[in-house]
Amino acid sequence: MAVLICSSNVNLIKPRRLSSPHHHKYKQRRLIRTCRNLVRLDTGTGFQFSLHNNNNNNNRRRPLPPKSSSSSSSSSVNGYGSNMEQYYGSEQRVEREEGVELNERIRRFIEFLPSILPGGNWWSFSDEADIKILAKPVTVWRALTRMWHLVAQDRWVIFAAFTALIVAALSEIAVPHFLTASIFSAQTATVAVFHRNVRLLVALCVVAGICSGIRGCCFGIANMILVKRMRETLYSALLLQDISFFDNETVGDLTSRLGSDCQQVSRVIGNDLNLILRNVLQGTGALIYLIILSWKLGSFTLLICTTLAAVMLIYGQYQKKAAKLTQEFTASANEVAQETFSLMRTVRIYGTEKVELGRYKLWLEKLANISLRQSAAYGFWNLSFNTLYHSTQVIAVLVGGTSILAGHITAEQLTKFILYSEWLIYSTWWVGDNLSSLMQSIGASEKVFQLMDLLPSDQFLSKGLKLQRLMGHIEFVNVAFYYPSREMVPVLRHVNISVHPGEVLAIVGLSGSGKSTIVNLLLRLYEPTNGQILIDGFSLGELDIKWLRERIGYVGQEPKLFHMDISSNIRYGCTRDITQEDVEWAAKQAYAHEFISSLPNGYETLVDDDLLSGGQKQRIAIARAILRDPAILILDEATSALDAESEHNVKGVLRAVRSESMAKRTVIVIAHRLSTIQAADRIVVMDGGQVVEMGSHRELLHQDGLYARLNRRQADAVA
């Protein structure tokens, strides 16, 4: 990199010191390079704006010749002249090559031109569509109905908005009539008529002004209501999905749907519909007026407007497709950014900032390509509009002027006609413009509505049994399982485990043998593919899952903390009435009180995931689990980040008797450190998704199987 920067500086600075002809040629070459970099002809995809000007520039710069060589130093004062000759000899060669290259580029550009004409392959998005667009297309009507359902609760705002819109539109459309009438009545000196017209004109302007204000305000409120409800509905639909749903979706994608997509969809009511309806009303009014005024002139204008509408329709469809792709690419860009930021430490340590920037830029380039085509399409649309608009004026003056000469219409009528035909064509343009924006919003709404339509997980639909007391008897009966995202890979096979109330059961095994999966099934995050899980004799599916989860304490492998104070993190999810003393008691039990008290704000310290050590986070998570006083406690590598002494202390607490019932709690503990689980009542050894051994520490050592082998290896490693 340093070399590159160095050579580019030399290239820039050296030639400027040269005599004028070379300097002039240099400037020409620079100009060609600059143009080439601004507008790059790409053989594969055609004509593209380059997003890598600097890179291309750097790549194409030739390094200067070496500053000195033995031969050159003998034939020059300072060894520089001869080098410069060589340099400029090669410069001429390069100039010839560049001339050939330029011709080639011009030829390609000429070949490329037809593809950018309407219907040409440059406009096609097929190259860009290397992403899965899973959402089913939604019709405008269906999208509008869905939106109506979301705002129907506050329909008064919509009614007020539409009433104001109609009154404002009708008042505005009457203005040109009274304006012309006032001018011509003043000309013909009919004072009474003039005064009446002016009074009416003022009244119309006032009404139009007031109603426009009400309309804008009410549509703004409706917009706010729509986007709020949409986000609420979407967020709650997402929160109630099965865990397997989140295995397939990325965080960046989902937050993109909630953020930018909902915002885009909300424009439908606040902006698009508002303007479309207003202009449809005014356009229709203008058309009726024109036909009454002169059917011949009216028909011409109508013909032009129909052509405009046809162009508009094609343009609208194109924009809809572009919007969909923009939405997908934006989501993908967000995904990359979100992943990079969340893994920032890894990125920094491995020095992959440029790689990450490259990944992000890839999506930005795709977005730029779509945007380029959208802008070009907008240009075509404006071109059509302007041509047709001016045709109306020319036709009106031609046909109208002839009619005036023939005495068929008056000058006042022609003036009114021109004013109203302008109104009509502008209304058509506005409708077209907002219709394409509406199409874009509808395009963005497809994925949002699809996600909103997802049914909540069955767990939230069915109300199950609530037992009087949970004893903590757990049975896995012939359980088999594969993850929905990997249907071909069996993770558990014929698992039969029975845990008695108050027993401490340890699960050990090699990494990936299915230990955490057993816990996932017990927490009902996934349903077994085969077999049954029973709690106190009841199938897991029969029990009220919320009730059951309230009675289970869980500390995961990498506990995550929320961005809130430590006290709230410990209380998180506890439905009992909790005092600060209870929180501190739990923290003391988890040996967390000491470090929490040493923080500047104690229990009020605001934390998130990155501000505490792994062991400190685990202690807070253990305190959280202890505070629930659960009947079943699950520890998945919960003490892996604790030092030996803390682990010993915490283990004693976790076995402690449950306070209110004086019954012992059932504990399931997963640990790689076998010293952690030696005191367990029973140890289950897993291998390849199956239970291969079961018994106490002594029994398993005696069996001399996998457990004994693992134990020996760990002992060797410590030694």
Ligand X SMILES: Nc1ncnc2c1ncn2[C@@H]1O[C@H](COP(=O)(O)OP(=O)(O)OP(=O)(O)O)[C@@H](O)[C@H]1O
| SS3 category, 124 | coil
CB-nearer residue toward ligand X: 247 or 353? 247
Least CB distance from residue 507 to ligand X, whole Å?
Answer: 8
Tokens representing 611 are 């501000």
Least CB distance from residue 705 to ligand X, whole Å?
Answer: 17
Binding site for ligand X (CB under 6 A): 247, 483, 485-486, 491, 509, 511-517
| SS3 category, 686 | strand
Of residues 672, 700, 695, 671, the one with CA closest to residue 682 = 695
Alpha carbon distance 335, 251 (integer Å): 7
What is the identity of the amino acid at 281? L
CB-nearer residue toward ligand X: 43 or 511? 511
CB-nearer residue toward ligand X: 82 or 517? 517
Alpha carbon distance 281, 289 (integer Å): 12
Least CB distance from residue 523 to ligand X, whole Å?
Answer: 13
CB-nearer residue toward ligand X: 483 or 547? 483
Least CB distance from residue 634 to ligand X, whole Å?
Answer: 12
Question: Which residue matches tokens 């050894």?
Answer: 685
CB-nearer residue toward ligand X: 515 or 628? 515
Tokens representing 586 are 């739990």
Least CB distance from residue 669 to ligand X, whole Å?
Answer: 13
Contact between 64 and 14 (Cβ < 8 Å): yes
Tell me the CA end-to-end span of the chain in Å, nearest whole number: 47
CB-nearer residue toward ligand X: 281 or 519? 519
**Neighbouring-strand partners of residue 669:** 506, 635
Q: Is 507 exposed, middle or buried (0-12, 13-18, 19+ CB in 10 A)?
A: buried
CB-nearer residue toward ligand X: 484 or 602? 484
For 1-29, give the DSSP string. Answer: -HHHHHHHHHHHHGGGGS-HHHHHHHHHH
CB-nearer residue toward ligand X: 491 or 548? 491
Write out the E strands in 349-411.
none
| SS3 category, 53 | helix
Least CB distance from residue 115 to ligand X, whole Å?
Answer: 45
Least CB distance from residue 681 to ligand X, whole Å?
Answer: 21
Least CB distance from residue 457 to ligand X, whole Å?
Answer: 15
Q: Within a 13 Å sphere around the CA of 105, how many CA atoms are in the beta-carbon half?
A: 17
Alpha carbon distance 292, 236 (integer Å): 55
Tokens representing 98 are 């560049």
What is the identity of the amino acid at 593? H
Least CB distance from residue 559 to ligand X, whole Å?
Answer: 14
Alpha carbon distance 189, 417 (integer Å): 22
CB-nearer residue toward ligand X: 412 or 687? 687
Instruction: Give the Å distances, CA to CA, from 188 to 193, 194, 412.
Output: 10, 9, 11
Least CB distance from residue 346 to ligand X, whole Å?
Answer: 19
Q: Kind and range of the H or E element at 667?
A: strand 666-670
CB-nearer residue toward ligand X: 107 or 486? 486
